[in-house]
Structures are given as structure tokens and as C-alpha cells.
Amino acid sequence: MDIIRTRERGNLIVISGPSGAGKGTIISALRGINKNFWVSISMTSRDIRSNDIPGVTYFFVSKDEFEKRISNDEFLEYATYNGNYYGTPKDKILDKLNEGIDVILEIEIQGALKVKEIVPDAIFIFILPPSMSELRNRLIKRATDSVDKILSRFKIAYKEINEVTKYNYVVINDDLDSAVLKVNSILLSERCRVDRIEDIYLNNMEEEVHELLVGKDLDNSEWEI
């Protein structure tokens, strides 16, 4: 029997950062080295881009459909960003956590702060670009938004970065491999936290060590534990 029994429930991990910081790329690469997590797919009312895969990138619905789901209390959180709705559907999240699987939410800062109010013990990771000029370059290279949209995202990014102190961890995505390893290290270390311990089993071990030590000369190298 192991000396401790830890809580098997998975961790809820929230990953946020400015548009263009590389959140989705990091999560995709993380799948190659960590199999014990499930990514909740967000829902949005924004238009589908050429590189989007419905049901993989997002669940895409109309604004009316999104608002209907809001009224039915189907979201863990939702927020508006750049004129569009984004939200996290509740279904499946609790089931995965109870199965001992970590759940990753890749969500906007507004939504993350709402989750923090509801689930304060969740793990919050903020992804930053190495510089604002690099962020600008990434947004331009995407070639998925108009100039006005890019400017809007850039202005929003300045405001979002001020929220970094409300997160538990910050990872600068200047090198993808390094950033992925850092995020994975956070996930692994959170599973080693003392507050995950449910029971400690010491009785048997204490008795065995005690029996071995009784009557022994601690300076005698002829006996072994």
C-alpha cells in the first residue's frame, strides 16, 4: 500500500491570454506529452474562419442560439469579446473531473475571472507573447482578420495583460517547446500538492521500523532496514 492516498478528482485548469499569444498551439502540442487532460470546447457566435474546424476549434452557433442557451443556464461562464459571444458549456466537465481527468478551459480573460468566482481552487495560467511587437506580427501573419479587427484585438490585449496578477502562473511563449514544457510542469506539480492528500498510512511502516531498531546498535553496520 502506498504511504499516501491522494484525491483522484481531476483539476480544472484555465488557460487565458491575449489573442495571438499561442494558447491553442500550446495546448495542441501538450497533447503529445500529457494524456491525462481533456480540453473543453468553447461555443461562440463569431463567424467561422477558413482555418476553423466546427466542433474542434469551437462549437459555432448563431447569436440567437447562444442567447437561448444562456437563458437555459447551459454555460459555466460566458462573455462577449470583440462583439461576439464566447462560452463554456457545462456538460461533460464535471464527469471528466470525477473520472480523475484534468479539464482545460481555453477561455477569454472575462470568462476566466467568472470561473474564478465559481471555482476558486481552479488553476489559472496566463500565456504571454514575448513582446507586443511580436504579438502584432502574429496577428498580422494569421491573415484571418481585417485591419480593423486586428487593431481591436491589439487594443484589447493591452487591457488584458493588466489582469495577469489575478492568475496563479504566467508562461511567456517565446519558444513553443519551452512554453509547452512549462505548462506541463505546472499540471504535474499541481497533482503533487499536499492539499490533494486524503489519507496517510504510517502505522505499518512505523511498526516495522520500530521492530528493526529495538535493541540495535545504530553504529553497527552489520544490520539493514
What value does the mean pLDDT of the chain take?
Answer: 85
Query: Which of 57-61, 78-82, 219-223 has the lowest average pLDDT?
Result: 219-223
| Contact by Cβ (8 Å): 38, 102 | yes
* pLDDT-derived band at 110, boundaries 50, 70, 90: confident
Lowest-pLDDT choice from 77-86, 150-159, 167-176? 150-159
If you average pLDDT over residues 4-31, what whole number do you get?
88
Tell me whether residue 52 is in a domain. no
Rounded Cα distance between 203 and 205, Å, is 6
The answer to whether residue 131 sits within a structural domain is yes
166 touches 116 (CB < 8 A): yes
57 assigned to some structural domain? no
pTM to 2 decimals? 0.76
- What pLDDT does 20 receive? 81
In-domain check, residue 30? yes
What pLDDT score was predicted for residue 224? 56
Band of the pLDDT at 132, cuts 50, 70, 90? confident
10 located within any domain: yes
Residue 218 lies in a domain: no
Q: Kind of pairing, strands 123-128 and 102-106?
A: unpaired
Residue 77 near residue 115, CB atoms below 8 Å: yes
137 domain-assigned? yes
Could you tell me which residues are beta bridge partners of residue 14?
105, 124
Residue 37 is part of a domain; what is its CATH number?
3.40.50.300
Q: Which one, of 181, 183, 82, 178, lies nearest residue 130 by Cα?
A: 178
56 falls within a domain = no
pLDDT beyond 60 at 225: no
- Looking at per-residue pLDDT, the higher value among 211 and 106 belongs to 106
* pLDDT, mean of residues 146-173: 86
Domain that holds residue 10: 4-41+105-213
Better pLDDT: 213 or 134: 134
* Domains in the chain, number: 1
pLDDT tens sequence across 189-200:
998 888 877 666
Give the cell for residue 142.
494569421
User: What's the mean pLDDT in 127-151?
Assistant: 79
Average confidence (pLDDT) over 143-164: 79
Q: pLDDT at residue 215 above 80?
A: no
